[in-house]
Structure 1
Amino acid sequence: MTFAEPQCNRIRIANLLDDCSLGGVTRALGVFETAQLCRIAEPTTIVLPPTTIVAPRIAADVIITHFPPNWRRLALLAGLKLRNPKARIVHVEHSYTRAWEALHVPDRPRFRAMLWLAMRLVDQIVCVSVAQAQWLQEAAGIDASRITVIHPYAENPGLAELPLPAPNQRLRIGAYGRFCEQKGFDSLIAAFRNGWFANCDLILGGFGADEAKLRALAADCPAIRFSGKVASVARFLQSCDVIAVPSRWEAYGMVANEAREAGRPILVAPVDGLVEQATGAGAVVDFTDQQSIAAALCDLWGADFKEIAERARETTHNCHQLRQAQWTALLRSVAGASPARDRGCARHLRPAAPVAQR
């Protein structure tokens, strides 16, 4: 069976990466291989070394950049536009956020000047959360009409079919991901060591550069267990009642999305795209504050836990189909405005309405 429409209708798209290692960005690219997107698009992926300055010529109607802009890459973005004048350029911002800026940018005016220049070298911008879009409008002075919000999604078989948790006297709190500064697992471990998570156990899944440091922080705390690399997200989530996401910055937070799909309530840090995921699915928690943690746990134990879990799962209903529809609409709209599409086929492309945020 083929999903292709007549050749002249298919939009040639090129996804540009500077790192093809397994992660949220590369996993989210799977949306371009789905049946719905393959009906209207021919996707390719091109990996450019991080030091690339000279832009390549690319046989594409739409070029999608997935790397964060910086001063050096302004030349690359300008070159993409000059060397591919018939292509439209879409930038997906996966990295920069308000919380990231607060922690990593000593010279805010200079950083925001770079963002202002970079965002004017592309035709359309995709943000991965509403919070990120609001910050980027402010930071780079971008008109809202040039920004589309599309949450990332990577399919994990079995999450929607997992039995809902039914905690007994102790709550099994899980946290997983890369062991690095961003994920904030050290603050979660400290809260457990201080006894702020009463009657709870912590299961940590993952690996990374900070693993030795985290294991040392958790030493002699019987409530904390390391489960190693998460080979199966579904299997890990099945062992947990609640998922904590204590990140210091997080443009969106696919872990929180996966937890919700599995019917696991979430406890998320008050940063960036995590906050909007907690609505109806859990709570926003300051993991460095005992009272904030106590209030969240009291709400979980005092409510109908099954009802919370069901609501968490419901917030992700049809999210995979929604992402496909959003990208389909955006690509049709962007490609319909491209001179490269004027090959007798553009009449088949209908400009899409602004993509709705769920």
Structure 2
Amino acid sequence: MRPKVIHLIDDTKLGGVNLALESLATSRLKQHFDFKLLHIQLTQLKQSRYNADIIVIHAAMSWRKIPALLALKLANSSTPLLYQEHHYCREFVRHSVAHPYRFKLMLKLGYALMDKVIAVSHQQADWLVELGVLTEDKVARVGQAKEVEHFMAVAAVEAHSPLRLVAYGRLAKQKGFDLLIQAMASFSEQEVTLTIAGDGEDKDKLQLLAQMMPQVTLIGEVDDVPALLNTADAVVIPSRWEPFGLTCMESIAAGRHVILPEIDGLADQITELRQHQQGQFHGYEVIESLSVDGIRQAITRVKNGNCIGGCGEQRQATQYAWQKMLARWQQLLEQYR
């Protein structure tokens, strides 16, 4: 009989996380484990007992959630409790944490309730250990990935004039789209165009920024991301922080050039790109300074460059990353059968 693994998710807005978990639940691992995805409210104090062999929690740790996590631990004392850290990373603290000691204490208390904490990138795992909230033996370096078959089917890029840029994701401070739109003010619509897809709390602010810029278009949420990438020469990922960054993996799988900062989980993916680059086809451009001017400079280098897009080996590596991640998930879950 397959062990039952319940994934508890407390934020339906995390599109990338939910899609990654759906990919995991329908992967080849379903032959070995019975996966179930449940959406819950972890701010509500309930002593829910789950009929499961393993429970995996996907939630942003907070002081408000620790009592509910403690209740969950007590109600399921004989069931291994794993926690996947999708939310926090080094750059998040730099941009968003006013009281680092209090934040560190919150993480330490929350993680103490877990049997393992699953990191989505090596950069994130290294930071958690350096911070002193986890020991290396309590970190599971599973990483992050998703099924990219539909992205692999996108045709290889052919450079256009004007240069066609795409950015997509949640319209929020984290994603840095405000910096990107301001950087686009330096280019005419004959030089560079930008399409931004997504929705979120910064929608009105971003629309106002782009109001007088014909070279920038906001199109709202899209269901068919591979089709969106098919319209792009390059994808810009100007994130202020990014524990992993599935947008980067999707773009690479689609053979699109990526313009991004070397931070957090994106740094892991840049390392992977460097290992598989061929000749002049590097497949990426690093934003050396995450600022309006730094983004403008990176776009200019891509616009003036001779080669755009990734190589076949880089695209193929995203499929290998998916299979490697599944193997690490299986190895982790087998420990608790």
Pick closer, same or farther for the CA change 1:34–1:284 going to 2, 3 Å: same
Give yes or no for the alignment of 1:66 onto 2:58: yes
Q: Which position in structure 1 is the counterpart of 2:99?
A: 107
| 2:201 aligned residue (189, 209, 215) | 209
Q: Which position in structure 1 is the counterpart of 2:297?
A: 294
Q: Which position in structure 1 is the counterpart of 2:334?
A: 332
Q: Which position in structure 2 is the counterpart of 1:284?
A: 286
Matched letter for residue 29 of structure 2: L
For structure 2, the residue ranges without an aligned partner over 5 or more in a row are 274-282
How many percent identity over aligned positions? 30
Alignment coverage as a number of residue pairs: 326
Matched letter for residue 99 of structure 2: D
Distance 1:71 1:226 in 2: 36
Q: Which position in structure 1 is the counterpart of 2:230?
A: 238
Query: Could you give the per-residue CA deviations for residues 171-229 of structure 1, whole angstroms, max 9, x where no partner exists?
Result: 21110112222211110000011349993221111222322221221122232223332
| 1:304 aligned residue (307, 320, 323) | 307
RMSD over aligned Cα atoms: 2.4
Would you say the 8 A contact 1:242–1:266 is kept in 2? yes
- State the SS of the aligned residue for 2:263: coil
CA shift, 1:255, in A, is 0.9
- State the SS of the aligned residue for 2:45: coil
Pick closer, same or farther for the CA change 1:253–1:147 going to 2, 3 Å: same
For structure 1, the residue ranges without an aligned partner over 5 or more in a row are 1-6, 337-358
Distance 2:188 2:91 in 1: 25
Q: Which position in structure 2 is the counterpart of 1:351?
A: none
Matches within 5 A, 1:44-55: 44-55=36-47
Matches within 5 A, 1:102-251: 102-155=94-147, 157-195=149-187, 199-251=191-243
- State the SS of the aligned residue for 1:273: helix
Would you say the 8 A contact 1:260–1:315 is kept in 2? no
More divergent stretch after superposition (230-239 vs 53-62): 53-62
Would you say the 8 A contact 2:6–2:37 is kept in 1? yes
Give yes or no for the alignment of 1:27 onto 2:19: yes
Q: Which position in structure 2 is the counterpart of 1:97?
A: 89
Matched letter for residue 193 of structure 2: D
When normalised by structure 2's length, the TM-score is 0.88
- State the SS of the aligned residue for 1:191: helix
Pick closer, same or farther for the CA change 1:292–1:216 going to 2, 3 Å: closer
Structure label with greater radius of gyration: 1
